[in-house]
Amino acid sequence: MARVAKADVMKAFEHVAKLINDAGGPDGISSRADLKAKAATLSGTEKALFDVYSRFIDHRDHKPGARITAKDIEKALAFTAKEMVADYDENRNGLSKDEIAKMSTSAQLAVELAKELGLLQKTRSPIDFTEQSVEPKLQGNGQGPDVPPVGIWMGTAEQRKRLFTRLAQERLESGAAAPLASAPKGFENAESYKFGPQGADVGSTVYLIDNKLYVEQITIAGSRWFDAGPAPMF
């Protein structure tokens, strides 16, 4: 069994968290009756994780059984990311079969749901720049989002997208990308590429800023930023 990226497991938790949040309707507050009605529309692994995780979030609340708010979900996802997922990746190289076997029932269900929903990224080997169809080039001065800064490998926009998104994904999966407290300066006008599953409330984007890669992950709980390290230089 190939190792499973922690970020992919969290995508399954975030998928179910959105279902829990949506169960309450426009007010964003999900009652026990709301959750029961929503669960009736689900089946299989999705329903199993929905049931387990909604109970988990409810029990974390200071008044269990009352209601689940967006704030409750946000706190639960933060706890889940570290305590229920990341802490089981002992070598920070993705979750192995043995590590997954030690995880909680809800985390194991999240792994299975990620597989069923096609959220797992294919296993990648280290990037081989020789596969590019053009020779690396250097650009004297970058101007605008479509022109890379000094020293950045050029290629076409599609080739840069493939390269930078693969690097960003691999660094996220390996734990090499460092969380940031806020968005980096200049991201609004930076060269950027979306990658991974995209939706109205979820998605990932890699940005090229000052020869470095930054990743923004959008979830129902908000925006999370990561420093994904240097962009390839030639």
pLDDT at 206 over 70: yes
pLDDT tens digits, one per residue of 31-65: 999 999 999 999 999 999 999 999 888 877 655 56
Question: CA nearest 36: which of 78, 71, 79, 68?
Answer: 68
Is residue 9 within 8 A of residue 25, CB to CB? The reply is no
> Is the model more confident about 176 or about 226?
226
Q: 127 vs 185, which has greater pLDDT?
A: 185
Using DSSP's 3-state secondary structure scheme, residue 205 falls into strand
Buried b (16+ CB within 10 A) or exposed e, 197-230: eeeeebebbbbbbeeebbbbbbbbbeeebbbbee
Cα pseudo-dihedral 112, 20, 199, 145, rounded to 10:
-100
> Please, which pLDDT band fits residue 205 given cuts at 50, 70 and 90?
very high
Q: What is the pLDDT of residue 201?
A: 67
Phi first, then psi, for residue 131 (nearest 5°) are: -75, -15
φ, ψ dihedrals at 219, nearest 5°: -130, 175
Beta carbons within 8 Å of 158's beta carbon, 6+ residues apart = none
The rounded distance, in Å, linking the Cα atoms of 19 and 30 is 10
Which of 19, 169, 13 is CA-nearest to residue 80?
Answer: 13
Give me the pLDDT at residue 171, please.
85
The predicted pLDDT at position 155 comes to 54
pLDDT digit string (tens) for 105-124?
899 999 999 999 988 874 44
Q: What is the pLDDT of residues 181-199, one digit of tens each?
A: 899 999 999 999 988 776 6
**Type and span of the H or E element at 218:** strand 212-219
- The one-character DSSP state at 212 is E
Task: Count Cβ atoms below 10 Å from residue 86 Cβ, excluding itself.
Answer: 16
Looking at residue 143, its pLDDT comes to: 39
